[in-house]
Amino acid sequence: DGGITQSPKYLFRKEGQNVTLSCEQNLNHDAMYWYRQDPGQGLRLIYYSQIVNDFQKGDIAEGYSVSREKKESFPLTVTSAQKNPTAFYLCASMASGTRSYNEQFFGPGTRLTVL
Amino acid sequence: AQRVTQPEKLLSVFKGAPVELKCNYSYSGSPELFWYVQYSRQRLQLLLRHISRESIKGFTADLNKGETSFHLKKPFAQEEDSAMYYCALRTGANNLFFGTGTRLTVIP
């Protein structure tokens, strides 16, 4: 199914390397989000973007960077400064407008493993 | 600061038994609460939003501002309800703050 796609599904990297996770959406949503999902910790917000060319830090932004050059795309870079990068990463998007009825739509996720 | 607490990491019930997944929140603003569900090998998806006061797949959830709770309930659990359930709070920045999740297993 389409909507939001994330690639790759699995990603391996060596310590000290930066890696970029892709997130694309064709829902014409203004807002996009990156979460990290760890067992027993739920989802934690890394970065979010409410509009093109603008983004804000979430609760656990250290060691991560993002860009939002196009409405459809919100790539996440996991840098070597991230102390514990092995995790499952989820991207989401949401329409702007009437807030109360907006829901976030999630991608299938990328599992990153640092070797 | 906001907080969403789901006290049970794991919950097992027998098929046909009632199920209640607990969620408590702490938020200084006017709360908007949601339940999201993640079935095995599927994406995380919205199950319920409190403002709609709807029943989805037999589940209901009532926002109790006095007890700061938004518990998810279903009178008769089915095997297909087995999944990971997350309670989430929308904050003023239009972001979602998630609880740690409860894994529900319905035993046949």
Q: Which residues does chain B have within 8 Å of residue A50's beta carbon, measured at their own beta carbons?
A: 94
- Interface probe with A: pick from B85, B94, B97, most Cβ of A within 10 Å: B94
Q: CA B106 from chain center: how many Å? A: 16
Size of interface A-B (CB pairs under 8 A): 50
Which tens digit of pLDDT belongs to each residue from A3-26? 999 999 999 999 889 999 999 999
b/e map B54-70, b = 16+ CB within 10 Å = eeeeebebebeeeebbb
Is residue B75 helix, strand or coil? coil
Q: Kindly state the DSSP code that residue B62 receives in the 8-state scheme.
A: -
Q: What is the 3-state secondary structure (H, E, C) of B6-55?
A: CCCCEEEEECCCCEEECCEEECCCCCEEEEEEECCCCCCEEEEEHHHCCC
CA distance B103 to chain A (A): 10
CB contact under 8 A, A99 and B97: no
Q: Kindly state the DSSP code that residue A101 receives in the 8-state scheme.
A: G
Which tens digit of pLDDT belongs to each residue from B25-65? 999 888 889 999 999 999 999 999 887 778 889 999 989 99
φ/ψ (deg, to 5) at A101: -105, 5
Helix (H) / strand (E) element for B102: namely strand B102-107
Closest partner CB to B99 (pick from A42, A100, A105)? A42
Interface membership of B53 toward A (CB under 8 Å): no
Q: Which residues does chain B have within 8 Å of residue A99's beta carbon, measured at their own beta carbons?
A: 32, 90, 94
Which tens digit of pLDDT belongs to each residue from A68-94? 999 999 999 999 888 899 999 999 999
Kindly identify which residue of chain A lies nearest to residue B53, measuring between CA atoms: A101
Task: For residues B87 and B78, give the distance between their C-alpha atoms in angstroms, rounded to a whole number.
Answer: 20
Which of the two residues, A97 and B12, has the higher pLDDT score?
A: B12
